[in-house]
Amino acid sequence: MRLLGLTVFVTVLICYVSLIETFRFRGKQRSPVIFIPGDGGNQLEASLNKTTAVHYLCEKVSNGFFNIWLNLELLVPIIIDCWIDNMKLIYDNETRETKNPDGVDIRVAGWGDPFVVEYLDPSRASPGSYFNNIGNMLVTKLGYVRNVSLKGAPYDFRKGPNENEEYFILLKALIEETYTNNNNSAVTLIAHSMGGPMSLLFLQRQTQLWKNKYISSLITLAGAWGGSVKALKVFAIGDDLGALLLRGKILKDQQITSPSLGWLLPSKLFWKNDEVLVETQLKNYTFADMREYLIDINVPNAWEFRKDNEKYQLDFRAPGVELHCLHGEKVQTVEKLLYKAGVAIDGSPELVPGDGDGTVNQRSLEGCTHWKGQQKQKIYHQPFPGVDHMKILSDAGVIDYVRKVLDFN
């Protein structure tokens, strides 16, 4: 009898704890969260079985998969040439698809695991921190549990939407699974940068009934709704990723092979045809001349990438869910490329600044405001002066905004 009584007591205790957890998580209508990263915002792993290499120091055969993005040890002089040769994509303009170099297999790491979007470097090195500040807040302040109520949805960010169809299928399944595993609580998507338009494309493909059931809200941080002039700049001279030890001119060889960069070129929905994007002593290139400029700087594939993915830019239907659109402003952001006298078009232009968050132009960041009046669900728009494109992920005001949405929604 004692044993039976103890069993009943333990069973009741477990049920009670479960009830408390249900009340704590559902009573406040606190929804589970899935992080959707932007360009470069999650870990990638590679396996090598190559017959040739660009340098004798480059490894040709690896012992299984290893972290290739963002592995800081691979971004040092000379070794970075090996990294570029492994990370670049090869484009076929007949199939309109890309592939990895021969002997290179690259896969997305840790599907569903928030760790691979919280830290780009598995060593948790500071330069590789990404969603971790928001993740830590959710865990320590609101009681979220990683891999239960907090998930991550990584993808191959090098590729455009046209090559990421499987991602949208997997994301839908992840949302439904997360909903079920959290007492049938609707999910909140938190997306950064390119993750904003990726989330929009996903939501546009779902029925309103599905969204009403499974989605609580979409929170976007620095959404690149209409592309950015910076993408044009990257095709021209590359980008150093904000790291003092890296040179954009070197990284360019890998960056210009990514179709997603073509998708992020300025959109005709936000730029006028006669706006000058590139100014030289001999000719000005307007928005309408963008193809000619990309050919003149010897990156013709950039225009092919744009052609493959422009339809996803132009489909700008409202997401059909409650939206919190957060972004920085009043940070100098490249608005035009200026080649001064004596600077050849294959040289380094001066970057003429305008308003934005340091990466995305203001008009693109504010793209979410175009949906006001186009959907029944509420749209909240909140700019944060002086907060740049990456610091928005760690800004105290932004994190507090996210906390309040999830704590009281």
Any residues with CB less than 8 A from the CB of 344 and at least 6 apart, and which? none
Between CA 231 and CA 356 the distance in angstroms is: 14
Q: What is the SS3 assignment for 106?
A: strand
- Contact status, residue 150 vs residue 135, Cβ threshold 8 Å: yes
Using alpha carbons, list the distances in angstroms from residue 331 to 25, 167, 334, 383: 38, 33, 10, 12
Between CA 82 and CA 58 the distance in angstroms is: 5
In the residue annotation, 239 being an active-site residue is answered as no
- Contact status, residue 242 vs residue 347, Cβ threshold 8 Å: no
What count of residues does the chain have?
Answer: 409
Using alpha carbons, list the distances in angstroms from residue 146 to 67, 212, 284: 21, 25, 51
Dmax (CA) for the chain in angstroms is 96
With a cut of 70, which residues of the chain have pLDDT below it? 1-29, 241-247, 409
Q: CATH assignment of 31-408?
A: 3.40.50.1820
H/E element, 381: strand 379-385
The one-letter code for the residue type at 205 is R
- Contact status, residue 176 vs residue 18, Cβ threshold 8 Å: no
| Residues 181-193: tens digit of each pLDDT | 999 999 999 999 9
- Here the tokens at position 238 are 């590359």
- Contact status, residue 39 vs residue 192, Cβ threshold 8 Å: no
Using alpha carbons, list the distances in angstroms from residue 389 to 64, 90, 193, 233, 256: 35, 29, 8, 16, 21
Q: Where are the beta strands (DSSP E) in 261-322?
A: 276-279, 284-286
- Contact status, residue 43 vs residue 156, Cβ threshold 8 Å: no
- Here the tokens at position 127 are 């330069």
Between CA 149 and CA 329 the distance in angstroms is: 31
Q: What is the pLDDT of residue 244?
A: 43
For residues 65, 68, 72 and 78, what is the CA-based torsion angle, rounded to 10 degrees?
Answer: 100
Any residues with CB less than 8 A from the CB of 206 and at least 6 apart, and which? 172, 320
Between CA 199 and CA 223 the distance in angstroms is: 10
Q: Where are the beta strands (DSSP E) in 93-143?
A: 97-99, 104-108
For residues 134, 137, 143 and 147, what is the CA-based torsion angle, rounded to 10 degrees?
Answer: 30
Residue (of 402, 399, 326) closest to 133 by Cα position: 399
Q: What is the pTM of this model?
A: 0.91
Structural domain boundaries of the chain?
Answer: 31-408
In the residue annotation, 62 being an active-site residue is answered as no
Residue (of 197, 187, 158) closest to 301 by Cα position: 158
In the residue annotation, 217 being an active-site residue is answered as no
Between CA 397 and CA 401 the distance in angstroms is: 6
In the set 31, 149, 185, 193, the catalytic residue is 193
Between CA 33 and CA 190 the distance in angstroms is: 7
In the set 357, 364, 388, 395, the catalytic residue is 357
Between CA 233 and CA 251 the distance in angstroms is: 13
